[in-house]
Amino acid sequence: MEREQGHVVEYAVLLRVWAALLVLTALLLAASRLSPALAVLALLTLTPLKAWLVLYFFMHLRYEGLLLKGMVLTALSTLLVFIGMLFLDIGFR
Amino acid sequence: MSEHKDYSGAKIGMWLFLFTEFMLFGGLFILYSAYRTLHPADFHRASGELSAALGGANTVILLTSSLFMACSLTAIQKGRKGASMLLVALTASCGALFLAVKGFEWASKFHHGIYPGGPGLLQRPPGEVLFFGLYYVMTGLHGLHVLAGTILLCVMLALLARERIRQDDCVKLENSGLYWHLVDVIWIFLLPLFYLAA
């Protein structure tokens, strides 16, 4: 009987993702030296982008079905709601 | 009768565990955000004392380890056991290297009396005490995860050697990889929050 298997991600794809992650890290470090506003902007854009690359390619989320994608989205959205509630609390007290 | 295997079930179970990890660290990120909003200047000053170079170096180490980990799964899926074992060993070595850098970093802070309850820390403003408290809790908890991951990878190495992980049955390696990558994702967020907040 053939066993169910995960998707095989080619080395070349993984290498490209790794290179992209290193470039984004260099940009993040450079932005944080230039100005505080740029540092915050980089924190809010480059960091989630890096996390997404790891989740999507290294953790094979790209090749998973809707069930798993939906589960991850639900968990992350829950966390985002908590973070949103925190800032509503701090911002309006 | 063959042993029952449930590939999708095993992977969904691992992801459910990872969600609890999201929430564990998520709670700490929320705590960090709250205190940073209350003490922006103190956080800014305290962050300037951490070495962005060391933080960056550890980021490169973890990102590279994640590459090795992902490649080790590809290798075993292609039936290349030797390459897979080498890549798992390299991943674990990166984990050990990361912990060594972290230990070096912590030791130099300890040397200056900057540790929870330490003399160098207690005379500082409250926001800086909070910053370093969170720094030790969050990087410490993350460090424990790296340590656990490194031990887990050593176990996987043994399982690969004994052919308990094979080309047609490698979900254990895949799940260990998921754990390792999650630890990497958490570090991706820790870097800008602690090392680049100055």
Q: How far apart are CA A15 and CA B81, in angstroms?
A: 20
Structure tokens at A72: 């991850």
**How many contacts does A have with B, using Cβ atoms within 8 A?**
123
Q: Across the interface, do B181 and A75 touch by the CB < 8 Å criterion?
A: no
B91 in contact with chain A, both atoms CB, cutoff 8 A = no
Tell whether B2 is covered by a domain.
no
Among B26, B181, B198, select the one facing A59 at the smallest CB separation.
B181
Cα-based distances in Å from A89 to A13, B9, B40: 43, 39, 17
Residue B19 · residue A75 · CB < 8 Å:
yes
Q: How many CB atoms neighbour CB B163 within 10 A?
A: 10
Per-residue pLDDT of chain B (198 residues; tens, 9 = 90+): 677 889 999 999 999 999 999 999 999 999 999 999 999 999 999 999 999 999 999 999 999 999 999 999 999 999 999 999 999 999 999 999 999 999 999 999 999 999 998 888 999 999 999 999 999 999 999 999 999 999 999 999 999 999 999 999 999 999 999 999 999 999 999 999 999 987
Tell whether B13 is covered by a domain.
no
Domains contained in chain B, number: 1
CB contacts of A4 in chain B (<8 Å) are: 7-8
What ipTM was reported for this prediction? 0.94
Q: Would you state the torsion angle of the CA atoms of residues B188, B100, B109, B46, taken in this order, to the nearest 10 degrees? A: -10
Residue B70: CATH number of its domain = 1.20.120.80
Structure tokens at A22: 């290193």
